[in-house]
Amino acid sequence: MPSRTPALFNAPAGPIVGWREGDLLHASGIRYARAKRFHPPVPEPAAKSPIQATKPAPACPQVADPLLDQVLGDLFTELTFSEDCLRLSLTLPADCGPDERLPVIVWVHGGSYVSGAGDLPMYSPAALVQEQRVVFVAVTYRLGLLGFLGGEGAAPPNLGLLDLREALRWVQRNITAFKGDPALVTLLGHSSGADAIAHLLVAEGARGLFRRVIMHSAPLGLSHNRLAMNQAMLRATGALPAHAPVEEVLAYQERAQRVARRFGLKGGMPFGTQYGAYPLPTEASVERAWEAAAPEVDVLIGGTAHETRFFAVISPTLRLLPQVPLLGPRVTNLLTALSSRYIYLGPAHAFAHRHARAGGRAYLFLVTFAPAGSDFGGAHTIDLPLLLGLPEQWAATPLLGQATWSQVNALGRQVRQHWADFARTGTLPASLDIPGVLRVDQVTSSA
């Protein structure tokens, strides 16, 4: 392991003490805002004394998911949990020249708006930063009931989205101190993180905070007609304790999730953005808002070939279906194809085509990577190790089947190159095919 030596960044936020490790510089756990429980974020004022940025950002408190742990392992071994989680972390090359300005990639993690954190080790950007000379910013924000449930007479909705907007404002003010170019900010999100990015495109006060977006597996098929479910969840929780221990609050979250199950597929992601609540437009006007934003933002959007197979494999009920003689595997494949198209792939196709028709540059991708020997195939999250992470986080998961990390890393190098090219220029080849890994096509206004 390379030794750590201190590194000082003189930023508008104040003097920030990070560290150098090998050929990378890091500054982690920097507070971009503070927020009282169920209140909007307040930007962090500039510090006069040095900010110690040598520990990972704490994760937002959340309810453990044993099914997820079976696939991905214990994700939080190196992290703490705290409501004081409005933090971000930066990674950049150590050999930047004095006047160098690098493209910036801001990572918005997924987890159905209820789990995850920006600084999970499985999201390590080391390879991406080393190979592509980008500045990587990982954001941690409020989740679940703390960040995405609210309504009339209750907490404001969309608090987690406001957290992300505040983080992007911090990036605009401070990124030049980390050799980043504030005019070349690309948002990169997975799953609910990609869904959040789609809605930042139309969020009041977010215009100009980013130039490009890359959205992996955004569950946009679940983003509409959520009002009845949100209201049922609010009735189930009742008045929420503003000062009780956070464990008590999370118990209310589980109650809300149980009520949401009767709303079908949407109940699989009960927390999320709410239209018509600040800073989002109404549901009836959101498509027009996306069209209005299109000329100013380049879009790269897509998903994996068999998105919902991830959930079919880990679900105690659905995992029995393939064992049914004759029809079981066929029914499983049909349900996976239909649900993947409804939740992820169809809405991505529609988003890209609407964006292009409205005058924006748009690319549509499909990750076809499906490791041999894996029950998951080309499922949700199989794209992540092609971009982020280190072998100790990914090699032991059943997702990769018989694939070795050296094989995954070699394939991932090609994906990282193209994604960084998009962050630099907003363009990719009109048609790109990496056999067995990835297909990308530019969407035109006439398509």
DSSP character at residue 54: B
**392, 126 Cβ separation under 8 angstroms:** no
Residues with Cβ within 8 Å of 8's Cβ and at least 6 positions away in sequence, in order, are 15, 16, 17, 18, 50
Can you tell me the distance from the alpha carbon of 162 to that of 113, in angstroms, rounded to the nearest whole number? 14
Report the catalytic residues.
Answer: 191, 307, 380
User: What 3-state DSSP class applies to 20?
Assistant: strand
For 309, other C-beta atoms within 10 Å of its C-beta total 27
Can you tell me the distance from the alpha carbon of 51 to that of 410, in angstroms, rounded to the nearest whole number? 37
Q: Is the dihedral of CA 372, 375, 377, 379 positive or negative?
A: negative
Residues with Cβ within 8 Å of 233's Cβ and at least 6 positions away in sequence, in order, are 149, 256, 259, 260, 270
The alpha carbon of residue 176 and the mean position of all alpha carbons in its chain are separated, in whole angstroms, by 23
What are 219's two structure tokens? 């569950």
| Residues forming beta bridges with residue 319, ordered by sequence position | none
Can you tell me the distance from the alpha carbon of 119 to that of 267, in angstroms, rounded to the nearest whole number? 27
Among 47, 31, 39, which Cα is nearest to 86's?
A: 31
Q: Whole-angstrom distance between the N-terminal and C-terminal Cα of the chain?
A: 51
User: What 3-state DSSP class applies to 25?
Assistant: strand
